[in-house]
Copies of this chain bind each other. A is one copy, B any other.
Amino acid sequence: MRISELSRASGVPIPTIKFYLRERLLPPGERTAANQASYDAGHVRRLELIRVLVEVGGLGIGAVRGVLDAIGRSDASLHEVLAEAHRALRRADLSAPETLTATRAETDAWLEGRGWTLDPASPPRDELAATLLALRQLGWETGPEIFERYADAADALASAEVDHVAGIADREAAVRAMVIGTILFERALLALRRLAHEHHSRTSLNEAPDPSG
């Protein structure tokens, strides 16, 4: 198909496609004339993936390249591709790493107590420690055990998600399912948590403050 058809099929505007081609996020089409190239279903799928990474995941071009490179490494296991996607999705840290050291030791010990096997350098370890530190800076006097309930929920969801991906025979489809699933179901989970907040707070918290108070 031509670039105009590729744009229609993927929902990505032509100038953006040309930018991705220049940045080599999208492989070139097959040259059919001096000034014309032909694209296929692989280009459509690649563009859809980039669109999710950019528009939903909020990734910059450098991070998108990191995820796509990991996907493209035919010697990488799905586990390694997932690790690369996590690195790319890492958010800006709330605190400088050195201020995190003591809190990291606490959250790391707590994670170890859960029996999870984790890389000592996994980026979400810092995220978790930074969250605990932020809670404490805001006056919450608590240890990592405050996350227990969230870890149980995350454990059940992740186990089902990994089982699903492990059941997909085609490698490209499995990689797509994993990266897309990480981003899109994350979005769904946050939307559902807020809806559930609304539902539960409607009954428990829907009273204006006591004017005599």
Residues of A within 8 A of B (CB): 11, 45, 48-49, 52, 55-56, 74-80, 82-83, 86, 89, 91-92, 94, 111, 116-119, 122-125, 127-128, 130-132, 134-135, 137-140, 147, 149-151, 153-163, 165-166, 171, 176, 180, 182, 184-209, 213
Contacts and interface: CB of A to CB of B under 8 A. Distances in A.
Contacts of A48: 137-138
Copies of this subunit: 2
Given A82-B197, A158-B199, A137 B11 contact: yes
B82 A124 contact: no
Given A49-B138, A56-B131, A132-B188, 16 more contacts: A48-B137, A48-B138, A79-B198, A111-B195, A116-B196, A118-B199, A122-B195, A135-B180, A138-B180, A154-B189, A154-B195, A155-B196, A158-B193, A165-B205, A171-B209, A186-B190
